[in-house]
Amino acid sequence: MKRLIAICMAFLCLQACESKRKQTTGYQLYQLENKNGLKLEITNLGGRIVSLQVPDNQGRLEDVVLGHSKLENYLEGEAYFGALIGRFANRIRKGKFFIGDEEYTLPINNGENTLHGGLNGLHNVIWDVVEIEGGQGLMLSYLSKDGEEGFPGNLDIKVIYRLNDNDAVEIEYRAVSDQVTPVNLTNHAFFNLTGAGKDEILGHELFINADYFTPVDKGLIPTGEIKTLDNSPLDFRLMTPIGARIDAEDEQLTYGQGYDHNYCLNRASTGLEVAAKVFEPVSGRLMTVFTTAPGLQFYSGNFLNGSDIGKEDLSYEYRTAFCLETQLYPDSPNQPDFPNAMLNPGEVFQSTTVYQFETVDAREELGAI
C-alpha cells in the first residue's frame, strides 16, 4: 500500500471554509491505495467514504460512490452520502424507546420518526483518525457522550477502514458503553457501478441472500412481522435486474416508493458470510457484500431527486444509486422479536462488513446465483 495522504480539505472549496470557519477547522481527507490501483478516500467529517476508484473490465478506473466536492453540501444535505451512521442506524418509531421502565426520547427527523441517530448523528461529527497497520488502514474514534441525541450512556466507538490487495474495502465497527443503550452502526455508501451518479441503477443485477424480510408501514417502520419473500417482488434470491419489478403493484413497494427494506439474512455462523452481490453488465464490475450482521437494508435511491449536486457537478437524479447497509433490524428497541440491539456495560458491540470488487467479461461467468 502507498502511504496514507492527509490533506486539508481544499476540495471542499474556499467559500465553504470561509462561511463555516469554526466548523471546518481540522477537516481532513485521507487516501488509501492498493497495489492494483484502487483508491479509497475517507474524510473525518462523519467518517465518510468520499470516493472509491474501481476498475472496469477494461482496466479503466471509475468512482463508484456518490458524494460531494463542496463542504456545505455535506453539512446541509440529508442524503448521508458515504457516512458512518449511528448511534442507531435506520428508523426508531416516534423517536422513543424504553430501557426498563424509563422512556428515552430522540429528535424527530423523518416524518414522526427518528432516522439514522437523529439530527446530529455520527454522520455530522468530527472523528479522530490515526493511521494503522503500516498505512494499510485507518482507525476512526469518537466518544458519543451520555445524552447525545437523547441516547443514554457514554458510547466509545471505533471504526476501522481497510483497503486490501484483494480489492476489498473492509469496515470494522466496535463500541462499548457505560450504560445500557441501543447500538446499530453502519455505513451509508451510495453505489453506482457504472460511475457515480451517471445513469440509473435499474439495469444492475442484484442477489440478496435472504428468505425473509421485515415489512413496513406507511412511515417505513417495521410492523414486527418477519415475512417470507416467496412470491414477492422483493425477492432477490436469484440475481435479477433492480428495475425488473421495482414498479410492481405491491403495498411494500408503494410505501417505499421502490425498495427501502430490511432483509433478514440467511446465516449459518457468526462470521463473515455473503449478504449480497451486484453485477453491472456494461462495465463488468461485480461487488460482493460480506457481513457478520443479521440484516441488510436495500435502498434503490427512490428519494434522490436532482437537488444534490455531487462530484463533477453532477446532479444526482432519481434512482441513480443503490445502498446495501448492513445492520441490526430497524426499530429493534421497540420490537421484542427482533435481534437484540441493547448493549450492556462490559459488552462489546462488534460488526464487520466487506465490499469486494472484481470484474467479469460476461454475465455467463457468474453462473447461477
User: Per the annotation, does 120 bind a ligand?
Assistant: no
Per-residue pLDDT tens digits of the chain, which is 369 residues long? 444 444 443 333 322 322 222 234 568 999 999 999 999 999 999 999 999 999 999 999 999 999 998 766 788 777 799 999 999 999 999 999 999 999 999 999 999 999 999 999 999 999 999 999 887 899 999 999 999 999 999 999 999 999 999 999 999 999 999 999 999 999 999 999 999 988 999 999 999 999 999 999 999 999 999 999 999 999 999 999 999 999 999 999 999 999 999 999 999 999 999 999 999 999 999 999 999 999 999 999 999 999 988 998 899 999 999 999 999 999 999 999 999 999 999 999 999 999 999 999 866 667 656
**Has 230 been labeled as part of a binding site?**
no
How many domains is the chain partitioned into structurally?
1
d(C-alpha 159, C-alpha 140), whole Å: 5
Helix (H, G, I), strand (E, B) or coil at 4: coil
Three-class SS state of 76: helix
Measured CA to CA, the distance from residue 234 to residue 244 in angstroms comes to: 10
91 is in an annotated binding site: yes
Give the residue among 186, 194, 223 at the shortest CA–CA distance from 299.
186
Indicate which CATH number applies to the domain containing 28: 2.70.98.10
256 vs 246: CA distance, rounded Å: 10
Domain enclosing residue 162, as ranges:
5-366
Q: Are 105 and 95 in contact (CB under 8 A)?
A: yes
DSSP 188-257: ---B-TTSTTSS-STTSEEEE-EEEEE-B-TTS-B-S--EE-TT-TT--SS-EEGGGSTTSS-HHHHHHT
Q: What residues are labeled active site?
A: 188, 325
DSSP 24: H
